[in-house]
Amino acid sequence: MDTAVKPQGCTNLKLRQLMRRVAQHYDAEVGKTGLKGTQYSLLSYVAKLGPIRPGDLAREMKVDASTLTRNLKPLVAAGWLMLQSGADGRSRLVTVTHEGREKRQEAQRRWRVAQEAINQTLGEANVVALHALIDDSLARLSPAPPGEINDD
């Protein structure tokens, strides 16, 4: 007799529900700075990697070029990021401004408040376990390099 517990429900739906709830929590806190969570992330990537070509930034963030372009516009308009000429006349570089670094630091403080609240609400041991499960799942779901058979 098979007494193993079988998964119930749709994993995709459950993960999307969790992601929405967690994102709402972070967005509410980071939003106090006037930034959306995606904008804070973009500002952080440019602060860490910039000056950087938009194509390279899109690859690093794992977003397509049109999404990146759309997300850059409000940050450039606010004066937190700027587009500069690159090595040749056709290339561009995304750079964080002084004001952008200050805005990122402000948002980072709010992000830490959100993270601590998640840790407290879920319990630190559960957050550590969740991170481990997510990391393991991502590794298992990542496509195998060409020519490699993944038969764990």
**Residue percentage of the chain with pLDDT more than 90:** 76
Which residue(s) pair with 81 in the sheet? 96
Query: Taking 80 as the threshold, does the pLDDT of residue 144 lie above it?
Result: no
pLDDT tens figures, 111-127 = 999 999 999 999 999 99
Fold of 18-141: Arc Repressor Mutant, subunit A (1.10.10)
CA 17 to chain centroid: 17
**The pLDDT value given to residue 2:** 62
Query: Taking 70 as the threshold, does the pLDDT of residue 149 lie above it?
Result: no
Structural domain boundaries in the chain: 18-141
Query: Taking 90 as the threshold, does the pLDDT of residue 34 lie above it?
Result: yes
Distance CA 109, CA 102 (A): 11
Distance CA 24, CA 35 (A): 13
Cα radius of gyration (the chain): 19
Residue 65's identity, in one-letter code, is A
When pLDDT is averaged across residues 74-99 and rounded to a whole number, the result is 91
CA 30 to chain centroid: 13
